[in-house]
Structure 1
């Protein structure tokens, strides 16, 4: 399966236009993740792009289809014993320990793991486990559990200079925030990241 690229909207910066969001999807971004269930600027006048948008919410009924439900780690841990999570599976969720990844097999499509590198957007947010150690853990988990593992998406400080390392470490994709929104042209930034993966 192709290496996935997910853009995370940075709520601390001016909100990107719908034109920019759709241009990113048209240029190879697989999904756009909003950390809120009711962000402004979502494409609502056509189905184009809606099923590529992840909305974070603590409950499935807060995310209207065809948008995709992202369940944050704290909400998942709180809901794990409740019926909602058994009958309505989220599309994606987050973890901060790779040991939690296998337990999500068959329950979600994407799992975001962070951080891989010092954050571009969040000062002082840096990894506690080196990437080469994470690569060993990923390999060991894949060797032990071959089926139904969600696609593993690396997050944190990823840009054109290091995205190829994320792929080499065994991740199935990369989530991008600062690399897109701290660039005056996010579409060009995305193209440079894609070129780095292909190089």
Structure 2
């Protein structure tokens, strides 16, 4: 199970991130698209050294090596602008790569360099109201041929919808709004984690 950062700053954010790690968070994607390079440096510096290998950067990829981060994420736009040669160079340096897709055709064409891909919104997004897909994900995933890249459900994933997403055929789920909009972030995360582990 993956957690994506809130795109905007929230109160006590770093303390909450540490508490989530201490409660079993395995992978944290830092998606702060508005951050300058300096703001990203400050943010990452505040996260404990012991958690660096569980972080993925969505922007300012060149900072990854400096901070001992071994995962980077490519937006759809970024992916289309990156050569296969460049992706392979990242892999040769020991990085795990992920990306975002919005249709199965793109997933099937993905470079083998990508370890996993976010696909969604599977349900109506919590963080982006009125953002939903008209795809039938159960049918889409039945046609899946690419088994080299893990497929991660994103968008509208709540504790009540995790089972459905995994039954559609997704390998994993990524959470955002259901955690950051929760009145009890840690307990809600732990609940989601328990459900994922059942499947």
Question: Is 1:73 matched up with 2:79?
Answer: no
How well do the aligned residues superpose, as a CA RMSD in angstroms?
Answer: 2.4
Q: In 2, are the aligned partners of 1:27 and 1:191 still within 8 Å (CA)?
A: yes
The alpha carbon displacement at 1:74 in A equals 0.5
Name the structure 1 match of 2:112: 106
The alpha carbon displacement at 1:14 in A equals 1.0
- 1:145–1:11 Cα change, 3 Å: closer
The alpha carbon displacement at 1:93 in A equals 0.8
Residue ranges of structure 1 left out of the alignment (5+ in a row): none
Question: Is 1:27 matched up with 2:23?
Answer: yes
Name the structure 2 match of 1:193: 192
The alpha carbon displacement at 1:140 in A equals 2.4
Q: In 2, are the aligned partners of 1:57 and 1:63 still within 8 Å (CA)?
A: no
Partner Cα distance (2:47, 2:176) in 1: 25
Partner Cα distance (1:98, 1:15) in 2: 37
Q: In 2, are the aligned partners of 1:10 and 1:181 still within 8 Å (CA)?
A: yes
SS at match of 2:100: strand
Question: Is 1:168 matched up with 2:170?
Answer: no
Q: In 1, are the aligned partners of 2:158 and 2:192 still within 8 Å (CA)?
A: yes
Name the structure 2 match of 1:135: 138
Structure 2 length as normaliser, TM-score? 0.81
Structure with the largest fraction of helix: 2
Name the structure 2 match of 1:50: 52
Larger relative contact order (C-alpha < 8 A, sep ≥ 6)?
1
Partner Cα distance (1:109, 1:91) in 2: 6
